[in-house]
Amino acid sequence: MPRSERPYRVIISGGGTGGHIYPAVAIANQLKAVNPEAEILFVGAKGRMEMTRVPEAGYKIVGLWISGLQRRLTLDNLSFPLKVLSSVRASHKIIKEFKPDAVVGVGGYASGPLLYAATSRGIPALIQEQNSYAGITNKLLAKRVDKVCVAYPNMEAFFPAEKLVLTGNPVRSDILDSHLKREEALGHFGLQKDKKVILVIGGSLGARTINRSVATGLAQIVEGGYQLVWQTGKAFFPEAKALEQQFEGKGIYAFDFIKRMDLAYAAADVVISRAGALSISELCLAGKPAVLVPSPNVAEDHQTKNAMALVEQEAALLVRDTEAGEKLIPTTLQLAQDEQAQQRLRRHILKMARPNAAADIVNELIKLIG
């Protein structure tokens, strides 16, 4: 049967954090929209977040025995070469059995072995880099793949210029129309209509510095007459829940994880967030005034570079992690009181949105298959 008449078969590989997983799922959903009979297999790292999140999204996933190199000497580092060899061998087996028309890498541990195995077999390959500073896996793979889809301009420092396509980051499609859901959002979270809402998102795993800063500033938030929707991550959730009960009836709502992020953005007037690539892309699409607190615990400090891409366009405010305890809540409350500043940030951040990212990436993928 000719290529154009049969369903596409695609492997999508990578994960580790929501910042890798959700773009991967968005790409898969878009591919299904274009080619409903498409067969899609995810390949992740055993024990990582993708092994539960991907099946929740309705896709099959296979796990590789792979992890990253630690910055200090550990037993894990000693087993790293063995894990790589094992994962490359397993990847060859997966590819031989699934027979993909193309593979997509979104970054994360599993992406490396799978794309290495695929490109060594001559299978068309595409990588999607979410950050303004490229991850090591994607940098190593760039010479082997056919296309590199990026979210920021000026990425020639990391990738061959002739392979670059500026697409933006694919995000969950429900974020696109979140501005139409405010009434539903207020009801969903039990919020009052006449009080402004501050949304706190520390990333899919939470953020200790942000959580601590918010915890110490709860009295100021309540005194200012604001409501708080607070995604804490699992580790901090028991402490946050105890604080919510302490301020019962004062508009403090803590969650370990928010599944309906479209409604969280719809409810929010101001957002406190880490500066992961996914969070920034969602903020751009939702058009929300944001105070960004880049995580210092990421390779090459890429979250600060992500944040500065917005700050330089007057599209967000920045509070450094080391200063969050002192500055985060005052900066946020000042923004929440300043309608003109909110409008300025909203106007500028919307200009940076790329709502067609998933479609553009899938178009590039189909060209490779075709």
User: Binding site: which residues?
Assistant: 17-19, 131, 172, 204, 258, 303
Backbone torsions φ then ψ of 229, nearest 5 degrees: -105, 115
Task: Enter the tokens of residue 265.
Answer: 């953005």
* β-bridge mates for residue 64, sequence order: 45
For the chain, helix, strand, coil in percent to 5 are: 50, 15, 35
Binding-site entries for UDP-N-acetyl-alpha-D-glucosamine: 17-19, 131, 172, 204, 258, 303
Q: Which of 351, 289, 285 is nearest to 316 (CA)?
A: 289
> What does the DSSP assignment read for 58-105?
T-EEEEES--PPPSS--HHHHHHHHHHHHHHHHHHHHHHHH--SEEEE
CA 155 – CA 344 distance, rounded (Å): 27
Alpha-carbon distance 96 to 100, whole Å?
Answer: 8
CB neighbours of 343 closer than 8 A, spacing ≥ 6?
A: none
How many angstroms separate the CA atoms of 126 and 146, rounded? 6
Strand, coil or helix: 186: helix
